[in-house]
Amino acid sequence: MSMMAGRRNPIRRDSIKHQNFSSGNFEQSKTKGTKPTPAKETLVDELIRVVLGLGNKYLMLEIKYRIATYLGILFAVSIIGDVLPYPKSYFSQSSHFLNQYFVKLGWGWTLICTIPFVVMTSYTYCCSDRKQVAFHLLRLGVATFFWMFWTNMFQYIESIYGRCTEPRFSRRSKCLEAGARWSGFDISGHSFLLIYSVLIMIEEAKPIQGWLGEYT
């Protein structure tokens, strides 16, 4: 057995060509490249950066300051409207297009915008957990309940603390059906709806604050 195996010759150090394994040759064999340079920004990119930066700052504004700003503007406009009557125009009539299809249906437009957004963001954050997505959508259900509650409350207050120009009608619905005018403490449901919708959309849009790093 020992005769068949033979004897191995020892490996000599000088028999290895060190130049083939040297670090210098290995580095030279590697292809050298350059880092990709970012695309040159255009005017449109700069405008997008400015708009998204302002929007991000607006989202970060504390809710108490935002509400105070809205109420201050509403109070100032109401005072100006009492002192200086607004000029009669198409937009001063309640039957104009924007009032009929946007303001009166404002909560519907709010849900059309917020429901898909909440579904997509919660689907991402909750790792496709449908129960968690449904739980996040529950916030919009609560917001819808309070919208219906307050709008009906405003109408109730107006009907209780008002009177008809025709004394024979004591109920608001009968007064309006007869073509008379009902005078009462009218809380603007339109103003409430617009402010309420804006606040809901801003709160629901906060998950995107960390998604705009590319532009902001």
* 49 falls within a domain: no
* 125 falls within a domain: yes
Q: Which domain holds residue 142?
A: 97-213
pTM, full prediction: 0.65
Residue 26, pLDDT above cutoff 50: no
171 in helix, strand or coil?
coil
User: What DSSP string runs through 81-96?
Assistant: HHHSPPPP-GGGSTTS
* 84 falls within a domain: no
* 143 falls within a domain: yes
Q: How many domains is the chain built from?
A: 1
Q: Are 186 and 180 in contact (CB under 8 A)?
A: no
Q: Are 117 and 139 in contact (CB under 8 A)?
A: no
* 77 falls within a domain: no
Crossing angle of helices 189-204/63-83, nearest 10°?
A: 160
* 174 falls within a domain: yes
* 140 falls within a domain: yes
Give 83-126 pLDDT, tens digit per residue. 777 777 776 777 777 777 788 788 999 999 999 999 998 888 88
User: What DSSP string runs through 119-135?
Assistant: HHHHHHHTTT-HHHHHH
In this prediction, residues 58-80 reach a mean pLDDT of 84
* 22 falls within a domain: no
Give 137-172 pLDDT, tens digit per residue. 999 999 999 999 998 888 888 777 777 877 777 777
Q: Give the H or E element holding residue 164.
A: strand 163-164
Q: Which residues have a Cβ under 8 Å from the Cβ of 45 and sit 6 or more positions away?
A: 215
